[in-house]
Amino acid sequence: MTGADDSVPSLARLSSGISGLDDILHGGLLEGGVYILQGSPGAGKTVLANEICFRHAARGGRAAYVTLLAEMHTRLLQHLRPMSFFDESVIPNSLYYVSAFHTLEGDGLKGLIDVLRREIKGQKADLLVVDGLVAAQESAPSDREFKKFINELQAHASVSGCTVLLLTSGLLRHVSAEHTMVDGVFELEDQLFEFRTERSLIVRKFRGSGFLRGRHSFRISDEGVKFFPRVEAVFASASRPDTISDAKIPMGIPGIDKMLLGGLPEATTTGLIGPSGIGKTTVGLHFLSQSNAQEPGLLFGFFETPERLCLKARHLGLEVGKAVDRGHVELLWQPQRENVLDELAHRLIDAVRRRKVKRLFIDGLGGFLESATSPQRVSRFFSCLTNELRALGATTIFTMEVPEITGPVVRVPSSGVSALLENLVFLRFVERGSSLSRLLSVHKVRDSGHDPSLREFYITDRGLHVGEAFEGVEGLTTGVAREPASAAASPPPAAPNV
């Protein structure tokens, strides 16, 4: 007998069929397991359990949905009908709805376990949902009887290979009998953050399997339930090794590429920092205009629609619209609404993976920051996100807007984030006589030399052009340029206060 023959077979999984949830559960529920799904009314338990049933039926499985509440299935089905997963054709052959409220009222837990057992057998169900566990608990004459009920249900689930979801509005305030007995406890919450709410899941317990710990956001829409595994958990290690190369990715602006000694180091992350109107998006459009079949580009933007971006590019003499038509560039616009931070990150990563994006322009960091309900996680979030983008081979430029139009101080929007960026390029306005000039400087480039000079740049209908280094002018980094009283006595320009 070989070692493989001796090995214990791993527990089979039952896919939830829900986007993101199987990732959190490292592959899905364990077949024949009994799980508690708990949360306050409105947290999303019923929709989630129903979608799991419909997805299961769509894959050829059979499910029974048993309610213990005085709730009408008719109403429930009416509420589910607009959702994309709802398919009436699977009812009742693959998905069967019954109420055991009467049984529980009349025959107690003994009658209930009999109904559940018969429904598993009669419907040949390999998935059973019991909605309203709290009603069973309330009707139990003692804790001992309730434990006995859970124990019997577990035994039936195990021998029949039927996975059971127990829905309850009771919260895990203390460790109770049912929580210790079942195979897993999943808690749904709908948290209020000042004016907005965000739904989340915490897996409290999941026997026999690893899982992604902590809080994970989810959203309910007409498309059903979508989970967004927390970026710091799911990308704690990048999905593939970071392959370092010496290759450079040209920005597509000769003057900047010259300052960068050929371009940005491949698969690095760059912060493009400057005030509104300075030309950050213009730099990004140049970068994307260099995209081709070998180096696909992606603009992940929060501020301008794809149509406006194409028009803007055309006014700069850049053929971004044609690159979009050829499939070399994708413009993904994220309207500024109540976005979920992890949802944005997953949308971005999915888009990068889907087209093997090599040139990524994110316009801008503020869109992510405004979606964060917990500012304390922003730095770690970006660390994991940028690690994954590097591992995917994307050379990424983030725009980072600063509030000051001119002045001696450049406030980086999030100092914790700027430390994670390998390359920093500053764009600033400088007052020169009666007009504003644009100033560009490269402050750091990973493992590479660069031209540190301060250069003026111009935006024309032929794009962005970098001029020569400023000569014979001082005070540039204060925001007000002036002719030196004496060239010999002029001090060197001060380093920007970052």
Partner 1 sequence: MQTILVVDDELGAIEVVATALEDEGYRVLSAANGRHGLEKLTEGQVDLAVIDFMMPLVDGTAMAREMKANPAFKNIPIIMMSAVGESVVRERFDGYAAFLRKPFRISALIDTVRRVLA
Residues 164 and 186: their CA atoms lie apart, in Å, by: 13
| Residue 118 binding partner 1, by CB under 8 A | yes
Nearer residue to partner 1 within complex by CB, 99 or 270? 99
Question: Does residue number 245 form part of the binding site for partner 1 (CB under 8 A)?
Answer: no
Residue 86 touching partner 1 (CB under 8 A): no
* Paired tokens of 179: 């929580």
Among 42, 92, 254, 484, binds partner 1 (CB under 8 A): 92
**Cβ proximity to partner 1, 96 vs 235, nearer residue:** 96
Q: Which stretch binds partner 1 (CB under 8 A): 6-14, 83-91, 226-234, 337-345?
A: 83-91
121 binds partner 1 (CB under 8 A): no
Task: Answer whether 312's CB lies under 8 Å from 303's CB.
Answer: no
- Phi/psi of residue 191, each to 5°? -90, 145
Nearer to partner 1, 92 or 277 (CB): 92
Closer of 94 and 339 to partner 1 (Cβ): 94
Residue 133: CB atoms within 10 A of its CB come to: 23
Q: Which is nearer to partner 1, 100 or 392 (CB)?
A: 100
Q: Does 319 bind partner 1 (CB under 8 A)?
A: no
Q: Does 183 bind partner 1 (CB under 8 A)?
A: no
Least Å distance between CB 68 and partner 1? 11
**Residues with Cβ within 8 Å of residue 301, at least 6 apart in sequence:** 281, 309, 331, 332, 333, 334, 361, 362, 363, 364, 367
Does residue 96 bind partner 1 (CB under 8 A)? yes
Of 43-72, binders to partner 1 (CB under 8 A) are: 66, 70-72
Nearer to partner 1, 76 or 182 (CB): 76
CB 36 within 8 A of CB 187: no
Q: Least distance to partner 1 from the beta carbon of 303, Å?
A: 46
End-to-end CA separation in angstroms for the chain: 67
Number of other CB atoms surrounding residue 120 within 10 Å: 24
Q: Whose Cβ is closer to partner 1: residue 66's or residue 442's?
A: 66
Residue 480, both tokens: 């007000």
What is the DSSP secondary-structure string of 53-113?
A: HHHHHHTT--EEEEE-SS--HHHHHHHHTTSTT--GGGTTTTEEEEE-HHHHHHHHHHHHH
- What distance in Å separates the CA atoms of residue 434 and residue 372, rounded to the nearest whole number? 41
Residue 115 CB, nearest distance to partner 1 (Å)?
5
Return the residue of 78, 243, 276, 497 that touches partner 1, per CB under 8 A: 78
Strands 455-460 and 463-469: antiparallel
Q: Which residues in 213-232 contact partner 1 (CB under 8 A)?
A: none
35, 85, 97, 302: residue in contact with partner 1 (rule CB under 8 A): 97
What's the closest the beta carbon of residue 16 comes to partner 1, in angstroms?
A: 24
How far from chain centre, in Å, is Cα 385?
9
- 184-222 in b/e form (b: 16+ CB < 10 A) is bbbbbbbeeeeeeebbbbbbebbeebebbeebbbbbbee
Among 9, 41, 60, 106, binds partner 1 (CB under 8 A): 106
Separation CA 317–CA 352 (nearest Å): 26
Binding window for partner 1 (CB under 8 A); candidates: 97-105, 248-256, 383-391, 399-407: 97-105
Nearer residue to partner 1 within complex by CB, 100 or 309: 100
Q: Which is nearer to partner 1, 27 or 132 (CB)?
A: 132
Which residue among 98, 172, 181, 459 contacts partner 1 (CB under 8 A)?
Answer: 98
Nearest to 251 by CA among 363, 397, 352: 397
247: closest CA among 232, 260, 237, 228? Answer: 260
Rule CB under 8 A: is residue 119 a binding residue for partner 1? yes
Among 48, 100, 402, 427, binds partner 1 (CB under 8 A): 100
Q: Give the three-class secondary structure for 464.
A: strand
- Rg (the chain; Cα; Å): 29
Q: Which of 384, 33, 61 is nearest to 209 (CA)?
A: 33
Q: How far is the CB of 67 from partner 1 (least distance, A)?
A: 8
Count Cα atoms within 13 angstroms, Cβ side, for 400: 24
Of 53, 115, 267, 427, which one interacts with partner 1 (CB under 8 A)?
Answer: 115
Cα–Cα dist 121/421, whole Å: 58
**Cβ closer to partner 1: 91 or 238?**
91
User: Site for partner 1 (CB under 8 A): which residue of 38, 50, 103, 414?
Assistant: 103
Interface with partner 1, residue 99, by CB under 8 A:
yes
Which of the stretches 115-123, 274-282, 283-291, 397-405 binds partner 1 when contact is defined by CB under 8 A?
115-123
- Of the pair 118, 144, the CB lying nearest partner 1 is at 118
Q: Cα–chain-centroid distance for residue 482? A: 47
CB-wise, 78 or 191, nearer to partner 1? Answer: 78
**Residues in touch with partner 1 (CB under 8 A):** 66, 70-75, 77-78, 88-89, 91-92, 96-103, 105-106, 115, 118-119
